[in-house]
Copies of this chain bind each other. A is one copy, B any other.
Amino acid sequence: MPKEIPYKIYLEENEMPKYWYNVRADMKVKPAPLLNPETLKPMTKEELSEVFCEELVNQELDDNTREYPIPQEILDFYKMYRPSPLVRAYCLEKKLNTPAKIYYKFEGNNTSGSHKLNSAIAQAYYAKQQGLKGVTTETGAGQWGTALSMACSYFDLDCNVYMVKVSYEQKPFRREVMRTYGASVTPSPSMTTNVGRRINEEFPGTGGSLGCAISEAVESAMSRDGYRYVLGSVLNQVLLHQSVIGMECKIAMDKYGIKPDMIIGCAGGGSNLGGLISPFMGEKLRGEKDYQFIAVEPASCPSLTRGKYAYDYCDTGKVCPLCKMYTLGSGYIPSSSHAGGLRYHGMNSILSELYDQGLMEARSVEQTSVFAAAQEFARVEGILPAPESSHAIKVAMDEAIKCRETGEEKTILFGLTGTGYFDLYAYAKFNDGVMSDYIPTEADLAKGFASLPDLKL
């Protein structure tokens, strides 16, 4: 007999997942390997280890190990903010008058405000284990940088964050959180790297870009002894760490005999979505159970729904390996009217391959409808969601409304990746009625596709 289901399910400490699940182990067709942009041959462990921590390179390249035991030090840190609650959205169901049962996994109850901390602590741990002095990274609005600064503070690692200059100046709050955790935060482009100096010279007064910040962080890591570069999304290792989200969900749902019919997540680089769906996807890949998976992306940056499946540069600076993924081209830039994250031109290669095989669907939604859903959700469920998370809310609500119309009692699970406390400029725009939508034209997309490398593979 299933137990009575609480409003919010918190796993007990002895029920918590002890390992990360690597979905690649159950994929018959594996994601395509990273390529060296010069030789066009698969990146070797040695090559990657110049930039990344060794154990993280192992995880990045490992298509076969199904279960990675989570080191005790990371389990200890997870205890500080995990388990995250799996919540039954009773109030939202009532508001929508739907027979659907809606659950969400809420990852926002930590100071970084999102799921990013799950991977940040793992990456900091492996850097510490390797005896490194510190790590470098880039951050846009600052969610990932905040998470990494918390993780580095815990392990007493130096943390250097290149923050896109326009965010550094206009959104000082996350910068101050990072500084409170002891990170050094440098506005990018800076004068501390060759690439930064070059860009400052070419474009005086530029506000910077994520692509430039990545290039600076990589250069900084490679030019200093005892430093490596770390990244908060897109990579397979990040999906592996984020599988803790899906593992907790699955353990909790199994415990109470709940089986989701559909699982919905927002998709930028893919870290949250991949982590949420991985263990469920594993069951689907092994033919044990079936689920409908839906990736939700912004209409302004539609890498899955309108992109091409091709090898592309991971960064606009073209310093990283080539990756086969659904992409809009590294030269694609979403309109500045686009709020929040999910601006990445590509998509994690595991998710790209699963999507290409038809194992996962994708939808794109426009931002004003996303903020309207966010507001409705906040008013009934209490939590003010991040704009990114609200993409998943929007589609979950759409699906619940369909159930009202058809009478189907579907069980919907979606990932609520974080809170919107640092996104209130965007909410203000919505509240003031001055937020607009942007859907790229075919011509806009063509410009991005023109930046795809011509590899002659």
Q: Which residues of A contact B (CB under 8 A)?
A: 6-8, 10, 12-13, 79-81, 91, 109-111, 113, 150, 153-154, 172-173, 176-177, 179-182, 375, 378-384, 419, 421-422, 424, 427-428, 430-431
Contact = CB atoms under 8 A, between A and B. Distances in A.
Given A109-B109, A111-B419, A424-B173, A382 B7 contact: no
A352 B154 CA distance: 40
A158 to B, nearest CB: 14
Given A7-B79, A172-B428, A176-B428, A380 B154 contact: yes
Nearest to A178: B431
Nearest to A79: B7
A31 B364 CA distance: 60
A382 B422 contact: no
A211 B444 CA distance: 55
B111 A384 contact: yes
Nearest to A419: B111
If over half of A's interface residues share one DSSP class (helix, strand or loop), that class is named, otherwise mixed; here it is helix
Contact of A379 (B12, B173, B181, B421): B181
Given A12-B6, A176-B428, A180-B427, A382 B81 contact: yes
A435 to B, nearest CB: 13
Nearest to A426: B176
A408 to B, nearest CB: 26
Contacts of A81: 382
Nearest to A374: B180
Nearest to A109: B109
A182 B379 contact: yes
B79 A153 contact: no
B379 A153 contact: yes
B111 A80 contact: no
A430 B182 CA distance: 12
Nearest to A10: B10
A380 B155 CA distance: 10
30 contacts: A6-B12, A7-B13, A10-B10, A80-B91, A80-B381, A109-B109, A110-B383, A111-B378, A111-B384, A111-B421, A150-B382, A154-B380, A154-B382, A172-B424, A173-B424, A176-B424, A176-B427, A176-B431, A177-B384, A177-B424, A177-B427, A179-B428, A179-B431, A180-B375, A180-B384, A180-B427, A181-B378, A181-B379, A182-B379, A421-B422
